[in-house]
Amino acid sequence: MIHNSIGAFLFSFLSSDKRFLARLKHIRLVASDLDGTLLNDENGIGPESVRAIRELNSHGVALLLASGRSDGFIRHFSRALGSPHPIVSLNGALIKDASGIVLWQSLLGMEVGARIAEIMRRHPEMDVAAFTGDGVHATGDPSELPRYLAAYPPEQRVVQDLLPLLDRAVMCVARGSYSAIQDLSVGLAKDFHTRVDRSMYQSKSAENTYFLEIRNSGVHKGTALRFLARHLGLRPREVAAIGDYSNDVEMLKFAGVAAAMRNGIEQVKRHADFVTRATSSEDGAAEFFALIASAREPHT
């Protein structure tokens, strides 16, 4: 049953909105973001959320983790929860099942990889990391990637030559001076136009260090969730999603029921059917999980 700390609110909420209750009864899969949603300030999953996830599972509702993080990082939490369900990583560019088999991936392709390698030769000081279905391969120290892209140590590999791996990359991240990163960004834009998304930003820890994220356009958590719904034989109305940031919007738009965290940005809240009362540091996601579990219990 629902834990006492949120139980009274949930039953009151469900009793006051019968139409929402009816929609919740259809849910069989919940897709949850990690950072700012399921994870608290200590980078862990709080006890209320763990209890609510177990309650979901007992009612036949699966929890799917979907994040911008690497597969290995997400898998650490999936294992801790004992989840047998697929994992959506790198904002939808890679989907693997619980055993680590790739179900779907958005490969950048050899043409893009060859262009990256060509520009790398002009800037030997530039490091590039290739995120693939079997790990993160980097020409520099993987620990120097942005914090939110930090790979789980067992999936990190340092390589001398990245070219043979670039045809297996679903995302590349370049690190270097402004001029080197700008050269790479302009070169990719010239050759591939809108086919490739490029996100350039400055390092928070090093003044003259910049990063460029490179991935295929039109790939996001929403496309990943659509693929998995079809793969699992689910209709959109049987899927729920919860998140806090702009990279969650497409996922929430696909889901039959969408929730936003109290600490989420306004753009996300505009697409939500429900906004949690508590933040991610206060186990706010547990409220949404508990709502769904409660809706699937018999009510008088």
C-alpha to C-alpha distance for 101 and 72, rounded to whole angstroms: 13
Determine the pLDDT at residue 147: 75
Q: Structure pTM?
A: 0.91
Residue matched to tokens 């002009």: 122
Determine the pLDDT at residue 74: 94
Per-residue pLDDT of the chain (300 residues; tens, 9 = 90+): 445 555 555 655 555 567 888 899 999 999 999 999 999 999 999 999 999 999 999 999 999 999 999 999 999 999 999 999 999 999 999 999 999 999 999 999 999 999 999 999 999 999 999 999 999 999 988 777 887 776 667 778 889 888 889 889 999 999 999 999 999 999 999 999 999 999 999 988 778 899 999 999 999 999 999 999 999 999 999 999 999 999 999 999 999 999 999 999 999 999 999 999 999 999 999 999 999 998 876 544
Q: In the sheet that 62-66 helps form, which strands lie side by side, from edge to edge?
A: 102-105, 94-96, 87-89, 62-66, 29-32, 239-243, 257-260, 274-275
C-alpha to C-alpha distance for 226 and 254, rounded to whole angstroms: 7
The continuous run of DSSP H or E covering 171 comes out as: strand 169-176
* Other residues' Cβ atoms within 10 Å of the Cβ of residue 180: 21
C-alpha to C-alpha distance for 200 and 174, rounded to whole angstroms: 9
C-alpha to C-alpha distance for 59 and 202, rounded to whole angstroms: 46
Determine the pLDDT at residue 300: 40
Please answer whether residues 212 and 120 qualify as being in contact, where contact means their C-beta atoms are separated by less than 8 angstroms.
Answer: no
Assign 19 to helix, strand or coil.
helix
